[in-house]
Amino acid sequence: MSLSLRQVQYVCSVADCGSIQGASRLLRISPSSILAAIESAELSLGARIFDRRRATGIQLTPGGERFVSAGRHLLAAETDFQRQVGLLQTQAQSLRIGCFEPFGPLFMVEGLKRFTQEAGPVEVALLEGDQTQLADWLNRGLVDLVFTYDIGPSFNAHLTKICRVPAHVLLPVSHPLARAKALSIADLLPYPLVLLDLPLTVSYLLALFDSCGAKPVVKFRTRSYETIRSAVAAGFGIAILNMRPIGDVNADSPQLVRIPLSDDLPAPILQIADLYGSMKPRGIRSLIDIFVALFREGDPERFAVTTPERRDTLFDV
């Protein structure tokens, strides 16, 4: 029997995602490549790992369950080996980074641009997901580190806290509230809401209205930060967000305005989680330092929309 680690990884990813298509999106590999790896693994084993049925989709066989259980142990050991070897390297040649889905266009590209200018050519794989996915990817060794908010599950990892990012309101310039210097949650209740519909994020955003004893009327839901901005500009409603884009490449259109919230609301902390602890490879440490500097240089208004009295407290983390 001859099986490669890649075959084992593909099989375990299909089992975790429940479908070849889901594993394809996670691994950024074509479904045909994953299917070929599964068939090759089954041929080497001389047994079926998955049952494929039109009515129920793809399901693990009893033998497949044993294969996946053993495969996860093998992948965990391989990840630990790679991490230990990475400690001996002076420069990262490739990086696997997880980030909260909206972060990609907001600041990840800008930070990675600065990193590659300093470190030279580096292959970057950026996996964008929700908080629960990020914790899972880090624990399974699919990524070297993750950029996330301190919302949801705790990360069993070393945390580098960067700053607080308070909630604010995104409005079309034609909106009746668009000229206000600050708004309260109560001011927003009469207007429809465009909601960033990501797991845990929904609970956080809707909980902001608890102090009013009322729920907002949600008229538009999307997982995409870019679609949020387009929907607000088109007049579907207003949105509550936590971060503005860093840099000019992805700046807001003139049709939008951002206004701080005056309420005393919990502000999520932007943080980086990694499993290296104090023994970070030089490339990982350099990457973290660059992203910390990206936020801490200059005025916090570059990334946050808040009241003047709170601006100086955003780095108290």
Instruction: Walk me through the domains of the chain, giving residue ranges and CATH numbers.
Output: 5-75 (1.10.10.10), 94-163+268-299+306-311 (3.40.190.10), 168-260 (3.40.190.10)
pLDDT at residue 97 above 60? yes
Say if residues 196 and 239 touch (Cβ distance below 8 Å).
Answer: yes
Q: To 10 degrees, what angle do helices 20-27 and 31-45 make?
A: 110
| Geometric angle at alpha carbon 24, from 22 and 29, rounded to 5° | 170
CA distance 246 to 229: 15
How many angstroms separate the CA atoms of 268 and 66, rounded? 41
Burial class (CB in 10 A: 0-12, 13-18, 19+), 305: buried
Record the pTM: 0.71
State the pLDDT confidence band at 45, using cuts at 50, 70 and 90. confident
Among 17-31, 88-102, 125-139, name the one with the lowest average pLDDT.
88-102
Query: What DSSP string describes 260-290?
Result: EB-S----PEEEEEES-TT---HHHHHHHHH
Q: What is the pLDDT of residues 99-152, one digit of tens each?
A: 999 999 999 999 999 999 988 888 889 999 998 899 999 988 899 999 999 988
Mean pLDDT in residue range 61-73 = 89
Mean pLDDT, rounded, for 151-177: 93
CA-based nearest residue to 270, from 107, 114, 122: 107
Answer whether residue 26 shows pLDDT above 60: yes
**pLDDT by residue (tens digit) across 194-215?**
999 998 999 999 999 987 888 8
In 182-227, which ranges are E strands? Answer: 193-196, 218-222
Could you give the CA distance from residue 123 to residue 275 in angstroms, rounded to a whole number?
20
Output the CA–CA distances (angstroms, integers) from residue 67 to 3, 8, 41, 137, in the order listed: 11, 9, 10, 20
Q: How confident is the model at residue 87 (pLDDT cuts 50, 70, 90)?
A: very low
Q: For residues 1 and 45, what is the distance between their CA atoms, to the nearest angstrom?
A: 6
